[in-house]
Amino acid sequence: MTSYDLKQLTPPGLYEIEERLSYQNADDTHLTRLGKRPVLKRNFGLMSMLGFSCTILITWESVTTLFLQNFQNGGPAGSVYGYIFVWFGIAATFVVISELVSMAPTSGGQYHWCSMLAPQSAMKIFSYITGWLTVIGWQATYATVCYLGGNYIETLVTLTNPSYQPKIWRQVLIGYAIALFGFIINIAGGKVLPRFEGAILILHILGFFAILIPMVYMANHNTAEQVFTQFLNEGQWPSQGLSFFVGLIGPVFAFAGGDAAVHLSEEITNATIAVPLSLMLTVLINGTLGFSMLIALLFCVEDIKGALEARVPFLTIFHQATGSVAGTAAAGSIIVAMGSCSSAGMLASTSRQFWSFARDRGIPGWRIWTEVTPRTAIPAYAVTLTTIITCLLSLIGIGSDLAFNDLMSLSTSGLFSSYLVAAGLLLWRRCTGGISGSKSEHTLINTAGAQLVWGPFHVPGVWGIFINTFAVVFMAIAVFFSFWPPMNNVSAESMNYSVVGMGGVILLSLLYYLVRARKVYKGPVVELPIG
User: Measuring CA to CA, how many Å separate 519 from each of 112, 262, 493?
Assistant: 18, 28, 41
- Provide the CATH number for the domain around residue 123: 1.20.1740.10
Are 370 and 355 within 8 A, CB to CB?
Answer: yes
Q: What angle do CA 142, 205, 391 make, to 5 degrees?
A: 15
User: Is residue 23 situated within a structural domain?
Assistant: no
User: Is residue 198 situated within a structural domain?
Assistant: yes
DSSP letter string, 341-358:
HHHHHHHHHHHHHHHHHH
Q: Which helix (H) or strand (E) holds 152?
A: helix 123-160
User: Is residue 392 situated within a structural domain?
Assistant: yes
User: Is residue 391 situated within a structural domain?
Assistant: yes
Q: Is the dihedral of CA 94, 96, 97, 102 positive or negative?
A: positive
User: Is residue 489 situated within a structural domain?
Assistant: no
Q: Which among 234, 230, 250, 276 is positioned nearest to 86, based on CA atoms?
A: 250
What does the pLDDT read at residue 7? 39
Residue 273 belongs to domain spanning: 40-434+445-484+494-519
Are 152 and 336 within 8 A, CB to CB?
Answer: yes
User: Is residue 206 situated within a structural domain?
Assistant: yes
Are 11 and 444 within 8 A, CB to CB?
Answer: yes
User: Is residue 90 situated within a structural domain?
Assistant: yes
Enter the DSSP assignment of 223.
P
Task: Give the other-Cβ count within 10 Å of 303's Cβ.
Answer: 12
For 168, list phi and psi in degrees, rounded to 5. Answer: -60, -40
Q: How far apart are CA 3 and CA 370, in angstroms?
A: 8
Q: How far apart are CA 480 and CA 524, in angstroms?
A: 29
Task: Give the other-Cβ count within 10 Å of 1's Cβ.
Answer: 8
pTM (2 d.p.): 0.89
- Domain count for the chain, please give it: 1
User: Is residue 2 situated within a structural domain?
Assistant: no
DSSP letter string, 402-460:
THHHHHHHHHHHHHHHHHHHHHHHHHHHHHTT-SBSS---SSSBSSTTSBPB--SS---
SS3 (DSSP) at 531: coil
> How does pLDDT run along the chain (531 residues), one tens digit per residue?
333 343 344 444 443 334 333 334 788 888 888 888 888 888 888 888 888 888 888 889 888 877 666 678 888 999 999 999 999 999 999 999 999 999 999 999 999 999 999 998 889 999 999 999 999 999 999 998 898 888 889 889 998 988 888 888 898 999 999 999 999 999 987 788 888 888 888 899 999 999 999 999 999 999 999 999 999 888 889 999 999 999 898 889 888 888 899 999 999 989 999 999 999 999 999 999 999 999 999 999 887 777 777 777 888 899 989 999 999 999 999 999 998 888 899 999 999 999 999 999 999 999 999 999 888 889 999 999 999 999 998 888 777 666 666 777 888 899 999 999 999 999 999 999 889 876 666 678 888 888 899 999 999 999 999 999 999 999 999 999 989 888 888 877 778 888 888 888 889 899 999 998 888 998 898 875 433
What does the pLDDT read at residue 23? 37
User: Measuring CA to CA, how many Å separate 514 from each of 81, 131, 345, 363, 440?
Assistant: 45, 16, 34, 13, 36
* Exposure class string for 230-245: b at 16+ Cβ within 10 A, else e: bbbbbbebeeeebbbb
Q: How far apart are CA 215 and CA 320, in angstroms?
A: 9
Helices (H) and strands (E) in the chain, counts: 24, 0
SS3 (DSSP) at 299: helix
